Structure 1
Amino acid sequence: MTHIPTEQATAAASGAAATEQFRAKQRTETTDVDTRRVDTLVTALLTATHDIVRRHKVTYAEYDALKSWLIKVGEDGEWPLFLDVWVEHVVEEVANEDRVGSKGTIEGPYYVPGSPRLPAETTLPMRENEPGTPLLFQGQVRSVDGSPLAGASVEMWQADDDGFYSQFAPGLPEWNLRGTVIADATGHFMIRTIQPAPYQIPTDGACGSLIRAAGWHAWRPAHLHLKVSAPGHRLITTQLYFDGGQYVDNDIATAVKPELILSPTATGQGNDHEVTYDFVLDKA
C-alpha cells in the first residue's frame, strides 16, 4: 500500500495509491488476451478518435495539449481515477445487462480487498466519536428465487463525514469504515456506520485540469460502496445513494440509478437514522 505522508489527500498521493491497488489486483488475476478482440476494440477506438479529429477539425495546438495532458495523467497516477469516473459506468452497464437481481454500479478507485471480517450484527471499524450522522444499515441477502442466502458476504466501504477514504488519505486508521460482514443463517445483516458525505474527486492533478477546462463540477454524491456475494451466485458490486442528497442528479461519475437510492428515517434516538435495503443475487 502506498502511504500518503502529506497533510491532505492530494491528487498525486491518492492517484498513486489507486494505481498501486490496481497493479496489486492485476498481479493476482490472469487474463487471456484474444488478439481478435484486441484488434476489434483498438481499431474501433482509433476509428472513433480519427472521426473526432475530422469532424471537429482538431488543430495541432489542441493535439499537442492533449498529448501533454495524457502524459500528465500518467505522471499523476490518475488513470484509475479517470477511467473509473468517466468510462467504468458504461462497462458496468454492458457487463450486467443480463442481471435480473439487484442493480449494480461502478466499483470506483478506492476499493481495498481483505477488510476485517465482521459478524452479521456489527459496527464498521471507526474512530472513537467518528464524526457524522449515525446510520443503521440493515437488510437481507436472497437469491432470485426468494430463498435466503445464509452466510452471504456483505463487503462495505465508504468515505467519512469529510469525504475521505481510509488508505487514500492521511490520518485515518487503516480499515476505517471498511469491513466484510457475514450475514446470519437467514441472510440478514445489521451494520452500524455513519452517513457519508459528498466528496470532490482530487482536482489538483490532470483530471482536475480537464474538469476546469471543460467547465464541469468535480463532485460525487454521498454513497455506500458494497460487494455482495454468496456461493453459487454472481457477485454484485454497487453503490447506494441518499434521497435528496447533493449531486444525486448530476453525479460526475454518472453512476446513480433510481434503484440505488436510499431513504433513511430517524430512529428517534438523537440524530440517528436507519434504512433497510435487501440484495437479490443472480445464480452463477
Structure 2
Amino acid sequence: MKLISTPESVLPVALAAMERTPDPRLREVMAALTRHLHAFVQEVHLTEAEFEHALDFLVAIGKATGEKKNEVVLLADTLGVSTLVALLNNPGDAATGGESLTALLGPFWRERSPMCEPGDSIARGGTPGVPLEVHGHVRDPQGRPVPGAMVDVWQASPVGLYENQDDGQPDMNLRGRFTADDAGRFFLRSVVPAGYPVPTDGPCGDLLRAQRRHPNRPAHLHFMISKPGFKVRVSQVFADTDENLESDPVFGVTRPLVGRFQLNADGTQATLHHDFTLEPGQTVFPKAPIP
C-alpha cells in the first residue's frame, strides 16, 4: 500500500489521486499547482501557525469582496499575477515591438456602461477637473482601420475615486462606450484622472503595509476595445508625468501603455492621443468584477 510516511511522500500520493481527472487541462493545471505548492511549503518550512494565518487571510479575502471592490482580483494584481497572465496571453505583434498593449482589467470595470456619441463627455453631474480630449484609432495588425470597434472607457475621478466608490458621483459617471467610425477613429471628452491608492481597508492593504509598499497607482484611463471577429483588447493608458510609473503596486505599467497627456500653456486643457491594435480571434469578454 502507498501510505504516507514522510513529508516527501505526500506529493506522489496526492498526484496519483488526481490522475483520474477526465479533463486533461484541469488535470495538468492542478498537478502543476499541487507540485509548486508542496515545493513552496517545503522550501520555507511552513509552520502550523503560518499555515493557519494563511488560511485566515484567504477567508478574509473572500469576506472583503463585495459590490464596492473585489479583493480577490486585488490580491492577484498586487502579486503581479494578473499582469503576468495578460503578457503571456497577449504577446503583441511587430507593430508594438513585441511588447503587449494589454493591461490589467482591474477591479472596477462594469458592464453596460452608457452608449455615447463621438465627442460626448463621460464626466457627468458637473464633475470638476481639467478638461481632457481623447483621440485615437483602432487598427488591425496590418494597420487597416477597424470600423465599428467598440471603445469602452472608464476612469477614476480627479480625486482618485471610481463612481461606485463615491456616493457623490452619479451612477456610471466617468464611464462610457464609443463606436469607432469608418476610419477606425474614436473621440471622447472627460477630465484628467488622478492617481489613487488601491483599497487598503482589507487583507491586501494589510499585506502591502507589512511589505512596506505604497498603494498608489499612477493616473490612468482604462480601455476595452472589441469587435466581433477580434480578440478583446483590455488596456490602460498612464499619464507620462506620474511619479509612480515605476512603482505601481499592481505592476500594471508597461512601456507601450505610457501615454502623453499634453497640457496647453495655461494648464486649462489636456489632450491624449492613443491608438490600439485588435488582433483577429475569438471575441470573449471578461467577467465583470463588480455589478
**TM-score band, normalised by the shorter chain?**
0.7 to 0.9
Contact 2:219/2:239, CA 8 A, preserved across alignment = yes
Contact 2:221/2:238, CA 8 A, preserved across alignment = yes
Secondary structure of the equivalent of 1:121?
Answer: coil
Corresponding letter in the other structure for 2:222 = H
Alignment of 1:20-99 (within 5 A): 35-77=23-65, 78-86=71-79, 87-97=81-91, 99=93
Q: Identify which of 115, 118, 123 aligns with 1:120.
A: 118
CA distance in 2, matches of 1:229, 1:145: 17
CA distance in 1, matches of 2:203, 2:103: 25
Name the structure 2 match of 1:12: none
CA apart distance, 1:92: 0.8
TM-score, L = length of structure 1? 0.82
Alignment of 1:151-166 (within 5 A): 151-166=148-163
Contact 2:62/2:72, CA 8 A, preserved across alignment = yes
Greater Rg by CA? 2
Please state if 1:283 is matched with 2:276: no
Alignment of 1:158-197 (within 5 A): 158-197=155-194
Corresponding letter in the other structure for 1:281 = L
5+ residue gaps, structure 2, are: 1-20, 66-70, 282-291
**Residue range with higher mean Cα deviation, 42-51 or 234-243:** 42-51
Secondary structure of the equivalent of 1:239?
Answer: strand
Q: Aligned residues, how many? A: 251
CA distance in 2, matches of 1:270, 1:164: 22
Secondary structure of the equivalent of 1:116?
Answer: coil
Contact 2:136/2:273, CA 8 A, preserved across alignment = yes
Secondary structure of the equivalent of 2:26?
Answer: helix
CA apart distance, 1:35: 2.4
Contact 1:101/1:282, CA 8 A, preserved across alignment = no
Task: Identify if the C-alpha distance between structure 1 residues 101 and 282 changes in structure 2 by more than 3 Å, giving closer, same or farther.
Answer: farther
Name the structure 2 match of 1:200: 197
Please state if 1:150 is matched with 2:140: no
Corresponding letter in the other structure for 1:242 = A
Percent identity over the alignment? Answer: 31
Structure 1 runs (4+) greater than 3 angstroms displaced: 98-102, 267-270
Task: Identify if the C-alpha distance between structure 1 residues 182 and 240 changes in structure 2 by more than 3 Å, giving closer, same or farther.
Answer: same
Q: Render the CA deviation track for 1:210-239: whole Å, top value 9, x for unaligned.
A: 112222221211110001123432221100
CA distance in 2, matches of 1:98, 1:264: 24
Contact 1:100/1:282, CA 8 A, preserved across alignment = no
Task: Identify if the C-alpha distance between structure 1 residues 34 and 274 changes in structure 2 by more than 3 Å, giving closer, same or farther.
Answer: farther
CA distance in 1, matches of 2:94, 2:170: 38
Please state if 1:263 is matched with 2:237: no
CA apart distance, 1:269: 6.4
TM-score, L = length of structure 2? 0.80
Contact 1:85/1:252, CA 8 A, preserved across alignment = yes
CA RMSD of aligned residues (A): 2.0
5+ residue gaps, structure 1, are: 1-32
